[in-house]
Amino acid sequence: GAVVSQHPSWVICKSGTSVKIECRSLDFQATTMFWYRQFPKQSLMLMATSNEGSKATYEQGVEKDKFLINHASLTLSTLTVTSAHPEDSSFYICSAPGRVSGDTQYFGPGTRLTVL
């Protein structure tokens, strides 16, 4: 089946630094990818839709200058958390849709970000 990978799986950084998280579709192309964040013991909240070749679409309340998304190719999307602060600490998960509209999403394993 389709596989989505994320790198790194976890990262610890100091407040004020920027962190880049990569999401790759390993055996299929994805013109669209999605970024979610999950707080402990809570559900996944959609942050933005990453579109290959165009700007990302952000959900209401998500700061686009804070969470920079770049869909560099048909197999890679990156999320950069700029000037990270402790409140940005969370579990970030990406996904890519299956080939058929309405099909399942394939989720990456997630990246645990801890900002000190």
Partner 1 sequence: GNSVTQMEGPVTLSEEAFLTINCTYTATGYPSLFWYVQYPGEGLQLLLKATKADDKGSNKGFEATYRKETTSFHLEKGSVQVSDSAVYFCALSDGSYDKVIFGPGTSLSVIP
Smaller CB distance to partner 1: residue 50 or 75? 50
The 4-33 contact track toward partner 1, x by CB under 8 A, reads ----------------------------x-
DSSP 8-state code for residue 27 = S
List C-alpha distances in Å: 46 to 1, 8, 33, 37. 24, 20, 11, 7
Nearest alpha-carbon partner for 57 in 34, 82, 90, 79: 34
Q: What is the closest distance, in whole angstroms, from the C-beta atom of residue 97 to partner 1 in the complex?
A: 4
Q: What is the closest distance, in whole angstroms, from the C-beta atom of residue 101 to partner 1 in the complex?
A: 5
Q: Encoding tokens for residue 94? A: 């990406």
Helix (H, G, I), strand (E, B) or coil at 88: helix
- Contact stretch for partner 1 (CB under 8 A) within 18-26, 35-43, 69-77, 81-89: 35-43
Q: Is 102 in the site for partner 1 (CB under 8 A)?
A: yes
Pairwise CA distance, residues 53 & 8, whole Å = 24
Contact positions vs partner 1 (CB under 8 A): 32, 34, 41-46, 49, 93, 95, 97, 101-105, 107-110
